[in-house]
Amino acid sequence: MSETAAKKDVQKLQRVIVDALEDVKAQDIQVFNTEHLSPLFERVIMASGTSNRQTKALSASVRDKVRDAGFGKPRIEGEDNGEWIIADCGMAVVHIMQPVIRQYYNLEEIWGDKPVRLKFGAPKPEAKPAKTTATKKTAGKALSPKQAASAAQKAAAKTAKAQPTAKKPALKAPAKKTAAKAPAKSATKVVVGKPAAKKAPAKKAAAPARKLVKPTPRKSA
């Protein structure tokens, strides 16, 4: 591998590590060039975490991002305690420490001869100046108060024409009230009048009259 390719790999690796630390809100990230101090690695990267939970999250983020970038899985030590975690990424060694531990050991005195300048965070887009709607006639000339007022009125009229007017919803005529229909007459007619005369009960048939037969007198012998 040529020197230029190796340098590009180192720069890519340190960029991946810094991005992984920034994703978990690491504090006071510093990168040092250690080529002249040790043949084992070329970068030492330091970062601080405010708690054991954050330092463990920072080491996990570094491990995952470095592995996903194709540099192999780093060797990590100190995750059980969480006060000082070391991630050996081959060409770079990452020290993730809590502020008290970092201040006590002060590794910057050992590895901090050549700090590397990096751009932290995504660059913010520059704000573009607002476009002025000055006309060609009035550009570069001082306007009197009357001219400025008339120009403002013209600009307001143009913007009002440019904006589409909202169509008013058509008002619908109120529905005509339908006259209430009279209830349908019942099919059966009720005849009001005299009550029907009751029919007299039929007379029973008279029993047949019995015939009286006179007894004939007996003749004497």
Condensed to tens digits (0 to 9), the pLDDT of residues 43-70 reads 999 999 999 999 999 999 999 999 999 9
Q: Which two tokens stand for residue 41?
A: 């690695």
Beta strands in 70-217 (DSSP E): 75-77, 84-88, 92-97, 115-116
Which of 140, 160, 143, 159 minimizes the C-alpha distance to 151? 143
How large is the C-alpha radius of gyration of the chain? Answer: 56
**What pTM, to 2 d.p., does this model score?**
0.54
CA–CA separation, 79 and 107 (whole Å)? 19
- The pLDDT tens digits of the residues spanning 76-107 come to 999 999 999 999 999 999 999 999 999 999 99
Mapping DSSP to helix (H, G, I), strand (E, B) and coil, where does residue 170 land? coil
Backbone angles phi, psi at 68, to 5 degrees: -65, -25
Give me the tens of pLDDT residue by residue for the chain, a chain 221 residues long. 567 888 889 999 999 999 999 999 999 999 999 998 888 999 999 999 999 999 999 999 999 999 999 998 999 999 999 999 999 999 999 999 999 999 999 999 999 889 998 776 544 434 444 444 444 444 445 556 667 677 777 777 766 665 555 455 555 555 555 544 545 454 445 444 555 555 555 555 455 555 555 555 565 54
CA–CA separation, 203 and 21 (whole Å)? 126
CA–CA separation, 221 and 218 (whole Å)? 10
Domains and CATH numbers, the chain: 3-116 (3.30.460.10)
